């Protein structure tokens, strides 16, 4: 039987594993020829870090020796690159003009390291970290000593940094993002990893962007965007990889991010397969070895004619090969999921399980990683963890099945058992304090013993100890928490921010012992608002902690497009503004243009990529964001008033415009809608708004606390005043009091129900000093209001910034 000709371009780990499977399944089916650009046999690339660190040698990481290829009849051309594929003739041509025919071809060209094209990137001493040649060059550089700068705080960058440090170099890691390995680790684990690396003498600089590499003939230093200059004898770029698709693209194969294949690893040409880091399958590309080995197994089976299921995405664990830095990450760890978190500050460990529908969908472990494999098995199997929910974070060795009772477990602990690792508090200390001082609440125990007063992760365990001692005497205050990340309600959070002088989100998390790593879509926007409200001019708004609609200045619609609403003060517009809206609708093919209930025009169906140019064009016409998305002022609805209506008593339109310009840009706990109606006939519907003004013969009646959505409620009268200036003062004072004491997403009517309408009237109407103080604080805060943040965004950031602004998804409509 004549063997078919199988040619493989590339000799990395994926094609090597593919051959192993193929020779097991169909050893005599193909005559195999391999072209390898590297001048050596196949080796284990994931073990380059131990080679760099000096723990292994090249010989230790060889996978297939020359004898292995010979024993399987494989023709291996080392150091010979393929430069062309003739699909019609079914031949490949090498750089040495060797032409070889194939019946089946496998492209396994791997990936190329990404080199940041900053000035100086071509200097001698600038290296990538991708293959054995790079590793040997780094070892040679380390032998000369000096300082190395590693650009990139991902997996490869940190392994390079640790290896160079181990060989005696001084090392600085530069990372663009706020925390290390942000794709594999959440910020809490990234923080612990940074501490561990710094303890080893490696300098870590996050939020650092490289401006240029300095030097004449070779590297002498690195300059950052902020002007900092670092000395450097070696620069290692480890900022990512890109699939090496050039050969496939030149051959006319379908290429997107990678070489596009189906689930059987077949390309757009039925005679050509592709495996490894150069592949795009199911819309994804891969860099970790486990999915590459899956590709290898599938390709081998298909080449052998053996039926096999197609490639399926499976989350792959990430591990760092740096001695003393134990971490494990797998699956999802973004927002929108439940999580179980265990922190042990005294031992430097952190465990976080990400859960959805009682199934693990992700795990991030630092320090104590022994149960990583167990968690991953449950993730892959979709195991229901409901029966072990209370104990699963402690690991496989601490499972008690469905009958586990945490209170009974706490009662069975010895008095020497450590309950609070951060502060070294034993069970006996807690029990003694409870009995001797009559403590009945968690807050009492925290205050007297410090148990759970640091990271807070032991709060539930402390509560279990208390229940085991006090039984029904244990007092748990019924408080509606801000969200599942904390036991604290909005009132405590707001009060603590003010009393403790907290001026960052992380400070709030630490002080109030947040139970999650980075908060959630409920608490992050709330805390961000509270800090903005309490510290105007001092706290910098965190855009990551805003709803997507607020960040994009557009309402996301159910089909994924956006609604854009430019502002029309008091519902007034001009022919020029209308022309600008019409021009934008035509230019960007916006399918729907609608008049809103707030007397504005809504452009519906705007594509995400068109948001910046749409707003830029509207800005040119003098139109600004209508904040139809905002937890802040939405609209001031008006009627035409006395200028046109025969029933009008005052200039309701003019007053509405003044109020809108006065309140414009002020964030508030929830959306804020106003109306000014020219007479008691109420054409502008002032009596169902958050704040309304009814024009009467003697002046103005101010009302507030209305609702016309899911909850229907008429307004309550606040006061009658004679002048527009008084209307503005009362409105500013009422708004500021609401801003300072309202709970996030609490509308004015709910706030007023909580505080009491009589109390609000007593303070604002009967205490002129208090009213003026609220008004003055509102005026002061408006100095720092983002009057037109969208215009600033367009001018200062540009389109490149639009993509990262979608981390917190908008929740259900209010």
Residues 105 and 250 both lie in one domain = yes
Quote the pLDDT of residue 797.
42
Q: Is the pLDDT of residue 714 over 50?
A: yes
pLDDT in tens, 686-700: 999 999 999 999 999
Quote the pLDDT of residue 404.
46
Taking CA atoms, 536 is separated from 23, 443, 533, in Å, by 70, 31, 6
The percent of residues in the chain predicted with pLDDT above 90, rounded, is 48
The whole-angstrom separation of Cα 188 and Cα 352 is 10
Asked, for residue 318, whether it belongs to a domain, the answer is no
Residues 614 and 692 both lie in one domain = no
Q: Is the pLDDT of residue 417 over 80?
A: no
Record the tokens describing residue 335, joined without a space.
């927002």
Query: What is the rounded radius of gyration, in angstroms, for the C-alpha atoms of the chain?
Result: 33
pLDDT in tens, 169-219: 999 999 998 888 888 787 877 888 888 899 889 999 999 999 999 999 899
Quote the pLDDT of residue 405.
59
Record the tokens describing residue 531, joined without a space.
């800090």
Q: Which residues span the domain enclosing 203? A: 115-239
Asked, for residue 147, whether it belongs to a domain, the answer is yes
Residues 650 and 755 both lie in one domain = yes
The CB density around residue 118, as the number of other CB atoms within 10 Å, is: 16
Quote the pLDDT of residue 72.
93
List beta partners, residue 32: 6
Average pLDDT over residues 307-336: 78
Asked, for residue 794, whether it belongs to a domain, the answer is no
Residues 682 and 621 both lie in one domain = no
When pLDDT is cut at 50, 70 and 90, the band that residue 380 belongs to is confident
CA angle 206, 207, 210 (to 5 degrees): 100
pLDDT in tens, 247-263: 999 999 999 999 999 99
Which residues have a Cβ under 8 Å from the Cβ of 767 and sit 6 or more positions away? none
- Name the range with the highest mean pLDDT among 228-237, 417-426, 750-759: 228-237
The residue among 211, 219, 206, 205 whose CA lies nearest residue 118 is 211
Average pLDDT over residues 359-382: 83
CATH number, position 20: 3.50.50.60
Helix (H, G, I), strand (E, B) or coil at 722: coil
Record the tokens describing residue 6, joined without a space.
């199988």
3-state secondary structure 245-269: CHHHHHCCCCECCCEEECCCCECCC
Quote the pLDDT of residue 492.
82
Q: What is the DSSP string of 421-489?
A: TTTTEEHHHHHHHHHHHT--BHHHHHHHH-TTSSS-TTHHHHHHHHHHHHGGG-B------SSTT-S--
When pLDDT is cut at 50, 70 and 90, the band that residue 763 belongs to is confident
Asked, for residue 319, whether it belongs to a domain, the answer is no
Quote the pLDDT of residue 718.
95
Asked, for residue 308, whether it belongs to a domain, the answer is no
Q: Is the pLDDT of residue 33 over 90?
A: yes
Residues 444 and 590 both lie in one domain = no
Phi, psi of 744, deg, nearest 5:
-60, 135
Quote the pLDDT of residue 489.
85
Average pLDDT over residues 70-93: 95
The whole-angstrom separation of Cα 150 and Cα 131 is 16
Q: Is the pLDDT of residue 148 over 60?
A: yes
Mean pLDDT check: name the lowest of 479-483, 574-578, 599-603, 804-808. 804-808
108 close to 8: Cβ distance less than 8 angstroms: yes
Residues 432 and 361 both lie in one domain = no
The whole-angstrom separation of Cα 404 and Cα 389 is 10
Residues 729 and 710 both lie in one domain = yes
Residues 149 and 286 both lie in one domain = no
Q: Is the pLDDT of residue 458 over 90?
A: no
Residues 597 and 494 both lie in one domain = no
The CB density around residue 656, as the number of other CB atoms within 10 Å, is: 29
Residues 532 and 679 both lie in one domain = no
Give the end of a domain, one of 239, 254, 274: 239
Quote the pLDDT of residue 798.
39
pLDDT in tens, 151-165: 999 888 998 999 999
Residue with tokens 């819309």: 283
- Domains in the chain: how many in total? 7
Q: Is the pLDDT of residue 531 over 90?
A: yes
Residues 657 and 698 both lie in one domain = yes
CATH number, position 556: 3.90.480.10
The residue among 184, 124, 114, 187 whose CA lies nearest residue 151 is 114
Give the end of a domain, one of 187, 208, 239: 239
Q: Is the pLDDT of residue 436 over 50?
A: yes
The percent of residues in the chain predicted with pLDDT above 70, rounded, is 90
When pLDDT is cut at 50, 70 and 90, the band that residue 795 belongs to is very low
Average pLDDT over residues 311-323: 76
Asked, for residue 498, whether it belongs to a domain, the answer is yes
The residue among 388, 383, 386, 384 whose CA lies nearest residue 401 is 388
Quote the pLDDT of residue 758.
84
Average pLDDT over residues 284-301: 90
The residue among 194, 277, 187, 293 whose CA lies nearest residue 240 is 277
Taking CA atoms, 370 is separated from 327, 579, 669, in Å, by 10, 66, 44
The whole-angstrom separation of Cα 533 and Cα 108 is 56
Asked, for residue 806, whether it belongs to a domain, the answer is yes
The residue ranking higher by pLDDT, 707 or 314, is 707
The whole-angstrom separation of Cα 334 and Cα 92 is 45
Which residues have a Cβ under 8 Å from the Cβ of 369 and sit 6 or more positions away? 319, 326, 327, 328
Asked, for residue 481, whether it belongs to a domain, the answer is no
Quote the pLDDT of residue 494.
87
To the nearest 5 percent, what fractions of the chain are helix, strand and coil?
Answer: 35, 20, 40
Give the end of a domain, one of 239, 266, 289: 239
The CB density around residue 555, as the number of other CB atoms within 10 Å, is: 20
Mean pLDDT of the residues in the chain: 86
Residues 465 and 352 both lie in one domain = no
Q: Is the pLDDT of residue 749 over 90?
A: yes
For helices 724-741 and 757-766, the axis angle rounded to 10 degrees is 130
Record the tokens describing residue 418, joined without a space.
């450590």
When pLDDT is cut at 50, 70 and 90, the band that residue 473 belongs to is confident
């Amino acid at each position: 039987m004549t063997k078919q000709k199988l040619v493989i371009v590339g000799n990395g780990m994926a094609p090597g594993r593919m051959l192993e499977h193929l020779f097991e399944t169909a050893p005599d089916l193909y005559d195999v020829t391999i072209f390898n650009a590297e001048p050596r046999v196949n080796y284990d690339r994931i073990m380059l870090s131990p080679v760099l660190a000096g723990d292994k040698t090249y010989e230790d990481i060889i996978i297939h020796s020359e004898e292995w290829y010979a024993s399987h009849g494989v023709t291996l051309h080392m150091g010979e690159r393929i430069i062309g594929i003739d699909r019609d003739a079914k031949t490949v041509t090498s750089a040495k003009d060797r032409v070889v025919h194939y019946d089946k071809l496998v492209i396994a060209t791997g990936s190329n390291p990404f080199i940041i094209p900053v000035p100086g990137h071509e200097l001698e001493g600038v290296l990538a970290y991708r293959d054995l040649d790079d590793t040997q060059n780094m070892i040679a550089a380390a032998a000369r000593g000096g300082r190395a700068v590693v650009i990139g705080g991902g997996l490869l960058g940190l392994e390079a940094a640790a290896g160079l440090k181990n060989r005696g170099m001084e090392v600085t890691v530069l990372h663009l993002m706020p925390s290390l390995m942000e794709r594999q680790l959440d910020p809490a684990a990234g923080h612990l990893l940074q501490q561990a690396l710094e303890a080893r003498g490696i300098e870590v600089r996050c939020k650092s962007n490289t401006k240029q590499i300095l030097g004449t003939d070779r590297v002498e230093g690195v300059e950052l965007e902020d002007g900092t200059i670092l000395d450097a004898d070696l620069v290692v770029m480890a900022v990512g990889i890109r699939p090496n698709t050039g050969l496939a693209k030149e051959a006319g194969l379908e290429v997107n991010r990678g070489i596009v294949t189906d689930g059987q690893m077949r390309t757009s040409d039925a005679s050509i397969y592709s495996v490894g880091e150069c592949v795009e399958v199911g819309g994804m590309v891969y860099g970790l070895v486990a999915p590459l080995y899956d590709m290898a197994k599938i390709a081998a089976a298909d080449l052998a004619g053996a039926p096999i299921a197609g490639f399926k995405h499976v989350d792959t664990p990430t591990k760092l090969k740096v001695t003393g830095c134990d971490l494990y990450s797998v699956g999802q760890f973004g927002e929108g999921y439940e999580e179980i978190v265990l922190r042990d500050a005294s031992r430097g460990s952190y465990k976080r399980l990400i859960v959805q529908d009682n199934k693990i969908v992700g795990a991030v472990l630092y320090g104590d990683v022994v149960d990583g494999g167990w968690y991953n098995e449950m993730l892959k199997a979709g195991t229901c963890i409901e029966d072990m929910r209370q104990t699963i974070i402690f690991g496989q060795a601490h499972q008690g099945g469905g009958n586990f009772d945490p209170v009974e477990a706490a009662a069975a602990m010895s008095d020497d058992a450590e309950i609070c690792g951060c502060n070294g508090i034993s069970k006996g200390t807690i029990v003694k304090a409870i009995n001797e001082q009559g403590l009945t609440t968690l807050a009492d125990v925290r205050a007297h013993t410090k148990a759970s007063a640091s990271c807070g992760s032991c709060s539930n365990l402390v509560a279990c100890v208390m229940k085991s001692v006090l039984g029904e005497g244990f007092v748990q205050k019924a408080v509606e928490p801000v969200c599942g990340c904390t036991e604290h309600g909005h009132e405590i959070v707001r009060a603590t921010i003010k009393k403790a002088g907290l001026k960052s989100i992380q400070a709030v998390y630490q002080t109030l012992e947040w139970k999650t790593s980075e908060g959630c879509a409920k608490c992050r926007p709330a805390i961000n608002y509270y800090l903005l409200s309490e510290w105007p001019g001092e706290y910098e708004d965190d855009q990551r902690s805003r709803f997507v609609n607020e960040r994009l200045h557009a309402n996301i619609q159910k089909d994924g497009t956006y609604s854009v609403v430019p502002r029309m003060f008091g519902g007034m517009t001009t022919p020029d503004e209308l022309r600008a809206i019409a021009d934008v609708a035509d230019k960007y093919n916006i399918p729907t243009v609608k008049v809103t209930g707030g007397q504005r025009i809504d452009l519906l169906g705007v594509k995400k990529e068109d948001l910046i140019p749409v707003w830029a064009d509207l800005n040119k016409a003098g139109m600004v964001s209508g904040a139809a998305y905002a937890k802040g002022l939405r609209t001031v609805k008006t009627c035409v008033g006395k200028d046109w209506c025969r029933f009008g008593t005052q200039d309701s339109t003019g007053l509405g415009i003044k109020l809108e310009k006065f309140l414009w840009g002020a964030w508030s706990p929830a959306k804020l809608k106003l109306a000014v109606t020219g007479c008691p006939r109420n054409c502008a519907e002032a009596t169902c708004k958050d704040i309304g003004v009814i024009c009467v013969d003697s002046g103005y009646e101010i009302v507030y606390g209305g609702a016309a959505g899911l909850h229907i409620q008429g307004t309550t009268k606040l006061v009658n005043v004679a002048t527009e200036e008084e209307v503005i003062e009362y409105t500013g004072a009422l708004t500021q009091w609401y801003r300072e004491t309202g709970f996030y997403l609490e509308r004015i009517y709910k706030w007023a129900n909580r505080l009491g309408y009589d109390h609000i009237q007593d303070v604002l109407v009967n205490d002129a000093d208090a009213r003026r103080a609220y008004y003055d604080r509102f005026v002061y805060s408006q100095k720092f209001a983002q009057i037109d943040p969208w215009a600033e965004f367009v001018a200062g950031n540009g389109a490149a910034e639009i993509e990262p602004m979608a981390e917190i998804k908008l929740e259900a409509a209010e």
